[in-house]
A and B are shown apart, each in its own frame.
Chain A
């Protein structure tokens, strides 16, 4: 069965430090991968997506992710975080009509 695993449930980091949120997916012939962000008391919104082409994908708010087929990973990175990046982040993949979400990583940015 297709799956998405987020390796960290919580990531605390100081403001202006770099951050990496890790995501692994189960391998398949074709895969479409996403990162969504959920700010407190809001719905999810798209950060970035990988459909094909360049393995380095840039998204909104300075985030980027790298698709690594050999390691079946799609880690999210930001070189310098802000307090406003405090949120929950979800890695996801689509399969047919459905999207499969990871359990989420709570990013907490400290001053």
Chain B
């Protein structure tokens, strides 16, 4: 099993450009999450999904959109990138059976720089 994978690993954008980050998991998990990690701020939840076709806002959703068209994939989109979105982005997933108290499995991260 590959676990949770993220594409791409690195990306540099110019202000105003758009891009999509892809997260894929092969553990048949129902719940998926997108976080951003900034120095000294821990992980902040951007959006999450509790099932195919369902998404919800997290703590810092502004400037991002998500889609969960397939159970195994969770896409994070930036429509018009801003320097404030320079960060490391992590995807995670959890089984619904342990959804409210269980372990999250993380991808390796995507390092995004917006110039």
Chain B interface, DSSP helix/strand/loop, else mixed: loop
A98 and B90 form a contact (CB under 8 A): no
Instruction: Say yes or no for B74: interface residue by CB 8 A criterion.
Output: no
Residue interface bits B94-115, CB-to-A below 8 A is 1, else 0: 0000011111101111000000
Residue interface bits A96-107, CB-to-B below 8 A is 1, else 0: 111101111000
Q: What is the bound-complex CA distance between A94 and B109, given in angstroms? A: 21
B104 and A99 form a contact (CB under 8 A): yes
Report B47-75 residues with CB < 8 Å from chain A CB: 48, 50, 56, 58
B106 and A97 form a contact (CB under 8 A): no
Report A51-73 residues with CB < 8 Å from chain B CB: 51
Residue interface bits A69-111, CB-to-B below 8 A is 1, else 0: 0000000000000000000001000101111011110000000
Number of chain B residues close to chain A: CB under 8 A? 24
Q: What is the bound-complex CA distance between A95 and B106, given in angstroms? A: 18
Chain B residues with CB below 8 A from A104, complex form: 40, 42
A9 and B40 form a contact (CB under 8 A): yes
B106 and A98 form a contact (CB under 8 A): no
Instruction: Say yes or no for A26: interface residue by CB 8 A criterion.
Output: no
Chain B residues with CB below 8 A from A97, complex form: 31, 48, 50, 56, 99-100
Instruction: Say yes or no for B45: interface residue by CB 8 A criterion.
Output: yes
Chain A residues with CB below 8 A from B92, complex form: 43-44
> B residues touching A (Cβ–Cβ < 8 Å)?
4, 31, 33, 40-43, 45, 48, 50, 56, 58, 90, 92, 99-104, 106-109
